[in-house]
Structure formats: C-alpha cells, structure tokens
Amino acid sequence: MVNSVIEIVGLRVVRGGRVVIAGLDLTVGPGVTGLLGPSGCGKSTLLRSIVGVQRVAAGDVTALGRPAGSAALRDRVGYQTQSSSVYDDLTVEENLRFFARVLGRPAAAVETAVEAVDLVSHRDQVVGRLSGGQRSRVGLAVALLGEPELLVLDEPTVGLDPVLRRDLWALFHRIAEGGTAVLVSSHVMDEAERCDQLLLMREGRILAHDTPAGIKERTGARDVEAAFLSLVQGEDAA
Ligand SMILES: Nc1ncnc2c1ncn2[C@@H]1O[C@H](COP(=O)(O)OP(=O)(O)OP(=O)(O)O)[C@@H](O)[C@H]1O
C-alpha cells in the first residue's frame, strides 16, 4: 500500500509563454482530495501534470511511485476532463463497451463501472438524452473502467445543480472507500467542505493543504470560502 499517492517536487509549467506554475511541491495521500481555486489559477494544468499529459519545464511528478505518464500507470490512473468524450449517439452501455475494448478491459469491467456510478437503470439509454449529471457519471464510469488506484477528475460537477453535485460527491467518497485515491478540482468553494483533504490554489501556488476543519481553524473563518479570502489577504499584506 502506497501512502503518498502523488509526489511533486519543484514543478514548473510554462503555457503560451507564461509561467503558470513556478516551483510547486506537493504530496497527496489517499481519500478524497479537493483542489480548489479561482478560474485560471492553474488547477487543470496541475492535474494534467499529474496524469502526464502536460509538458513540464522542470520538476518531478510521481504518481503511485512511478513517473507521471509512464506506461506502467496507464491502467492505474483514471482521468476525466471537463470535455470528456463520450459518444452522444451511443447508449451508456455501448459507450462503456467501446472504451473497455480500447482499454483492453473485460466485459465484466463494464458491469462494475455501470454499478459504481449508479446508472444500471439507464444503461440502454442514449447518452445524448441523459441529464448533465448522468452524462458526467458516464464519463466517470469510463475513467473507472481500468479500476484505477488514482482517479483524477477535472471539474466534474461544473454546471450541475446542488442535488446532483451532492450525489456526485457521495459517489467520490464511495469510490475512495473502495481504496481508490480521488483528486477532484472545483472552483465552487462550498464543495470544499466535502473533501477529506483540501488544496487551496492561487496563481499557480498551493496556499494551504489541510483538512477543511484545519483550514478553518487556522484562519478562524466560518467556512472555506472565508478561509480562502483570509489567506489571500494575509498573502497580499505580507
Ligand atoms: N492551451 C493553453 N495555452 C496557453 N495557455 C493556457 C492554455 N490553457 C491554459 N492556459 C493558461 O494557463 C493558466 C492556467 O489555466 P488552467 O486551465 O490550468 O486554470 P484552471 O484553474 O484549471 O481554470 P478553470 O477553473 O477556469 O478551468 C491560465 O492563465 C490560462 O490562460
């Protein structure tokens, strides 16, 4: 059992000639970790570096003890982006069968993934006619097909109503209880309360890494949003 799931030392990323991440160090453990910060602060860039699809200028990124993006991690790390490509004209099951074949997974993996995201009763429905939350869960099921030990989700709740967001977070916790570490990004601060560990990000840096309770206690704030603002103010004043 690996205790630190992700290890990052001295990560530097330049995109479009701009330094987006300048020397970031981070260790992420098991459970549900939330990566929160305002739009454009570098969340997607950090997640892309962790799954090994981002060109990095410097630093070491290790996932499950291996260099990010190495072939040995292909089945062990699941990744869902904001624009996850599932086929609208195929049913839930047809989509999953297709991706299972691409990934070389047995048919039984489709069954497990459909059950994990609670879409059994919608398996024969065409994806284009599903609700936003259900569609997001199909993307999640694709990411789960490889039975990953680490699941990286880039803003999976964006555009969903509060009830669907709550249901999805409950699902992330069920997945984590099954032993998969889950790293989820969001720019909605009220989702922070639902994480085991929180990473608060600003302008390519990690402002705080703690439990939601720890972050609130440290800043004396009532909620994580106020804690974030207090940390930003403290930084700007320094
Ligand atoms: N393809 C790209 N080429 C050049 N710069 C980019 C590219 N994608 C993102 N950037 C820049 O990198 C910075 C970080 O973007 P990133 O997408 O990582 O932020 P984010 O925190 O995920 O934002 P959001 O919450 O809006 O998705 C931004 O300033 C953005 O303009």
Query: How far apart (Å, rounded) are the C-alpha atoms in residues 238 and 236?
Result: 6
Rounded distance from Cα 144 to ligand 1 centre (Å): 26
Kind plus residue range of the DSSP H or E element containing 24: strand 18-28
Question: Which positions of the chain have pLDDT values less than 50?
Answer: 1-2
pLDDT at 2: 46
157 lines ligand 1 (CB under 6 A): no
Rounded distance from Cα 47 to ligand 1 centre (Å): 11
pLDDT at 1: 43
pLDDT at 13: 98
Nearest to residue 60, comparing CAs of 107, 15, 18, 6?
A: 6
Name which residue sits closest to atom 24 of ligand 1, judged by CA: 39
Query: How far apart (Å, rounded) are the C-alpha atoms in residues 70 and 83?
Result: 23
Q: Which residue has the tokens 């997640």?
A: 47
pLDDT at 159: 76
According to DSSP, the residues that pair with 198 across neighbouring strands are 34, 210
pLDDT at 54: 96
pLDDT at 191: 86
Read off the amino acid at residue 64.
L
41 lines ligand 1 (CB under 6 A): yes
